[in-house]
A = this chain, B = another copy of it.
Amino acid sequence: MSDAVFHPDVDELPLSKVLAALADPARLAMVRAVAGTDGLSCTLLDRTAGLELSKSTLSHHQRILREAGITRTRIEGSRRVLTLRREELDARFPGLVAAVLASPTEPTRAAAKAAAAR
């Protein structure tokens, strides 16, 4: 991935695109994990969110969130570090991120697998 990662202008984002990006248990878990931090690497994010995703799946989710203006990806050496674009999102969609973060969590695939193995 090049240093010039595309980030859309949140002021021009349609709500439907943001909602579509959020409409996935793994991506919701990533947003929750990254919220309130000053950045999490993809690897650390996977662990914090309890996702146990492959690198390619994680990369896919990272791209969807980034292209929908939800997270910002910065390159630090070989790591991709994600932050939540909280202020910009709050300005365009007041209350949306807060509502998402306040909502009940739902089991991700890894959590469901662990529960089944118990």
A interface residue numbers (CB < 8 A to B): 14-17, 19-20, 22-25, 28, 92-96, 98-100, 102-104, 106
How many copies of this chain? 2
Partner of A16, one of B16, B95, B102, B106: B106
Partner of A28, one of B16, B23, B102: B16
Partner of A22, one of B19, B24, B28, B104: B19
Partner of A100, one of B20, B28, B96, B102: B96
Contacts of A102 in B (CB 8 A): 93-95
Give the CA-CA distance A106 to B102 in the complex, in Å. Answer: 25
Give the CA-CA distance A15 to B108 in the complex, in Å. Answer: 12
